[in-house]
Chain A
Amino acid sequence: MTAKPMTAKQWSAEAVETLLAAQGIALAPGRAERLARAYQAMLEASAADPLLARLEFEATPTGFLLAMQKCR
């Protein structure tokens, strides 16, 4: 069976409210919808980097420290 890639879903105000409430964070009134739009834009912009598609399986956050020394 071939797995079908997921299509990105839009964040909803309800989802944001639920997720924050689960962490004990109360949203200021009227914020959930704006936040949902902002998340969507930010994560889409971040995911647009073509480098992501070539990110090696072995890559870890600590690799950045090695790169800083290598790129001096």
Chain B
Amino acid sequence: MSKIGILVVSLEMPASQIIDRLVAKLGNVPLRALAEGLDTQAHVAGVQKAINIISNNNLVVRDDLYDIASIVATARAMAKSPIGLKVLLVDYIQLVRCELGREGTREREVAEVSRSLRLLGLELSCLVIGITQLNEQGKARESRAIQQDATCILAIKLDEDAGELRTISIPYQRNGPCGVETNLRFNGRTASFLNA
């Protein structure tokens, strides 16, 4: 992690669990040990290492922002602060509320959230990473607008027979080749992606 302003907006899981996953990854400590108790010197050293790395970075994790207006306001405030904002991560787009009145269908609401995040990234010159659920056809659920607004789409595919292997594909990007893919290994114990 480099020392840049990072804002994680989680609507999927509590901030505490997001930080546990970060500690597990950075310290190579099993999530189970974090939950049930550290019982080896290696775990202790790993957690200490992760705490040191995270403490020296400008990370904010919020799990209390439920609508797009709150997310935009918080991102703007952070961007104006001396630290600035370089990365905004929203997990996940379909859970963000956006009131469009009586005529607002769910699809239009999701499209508006996607558009707002796109414009926010341009306004603040920050990278916006929006997590999205996929439907059975592998498309973003409830809105095609997400795919149209994105500069780059990264898809993680889980093959049931592939064990820990995951296929990471780029079906679309504006500034590079489309349709490329590679494999990574997912380590569930530490919630990490590693080289295959």
- The reply to whether chain A is a binding partner of chain B is no
A residues engaging B (CB < 8 A)?
none
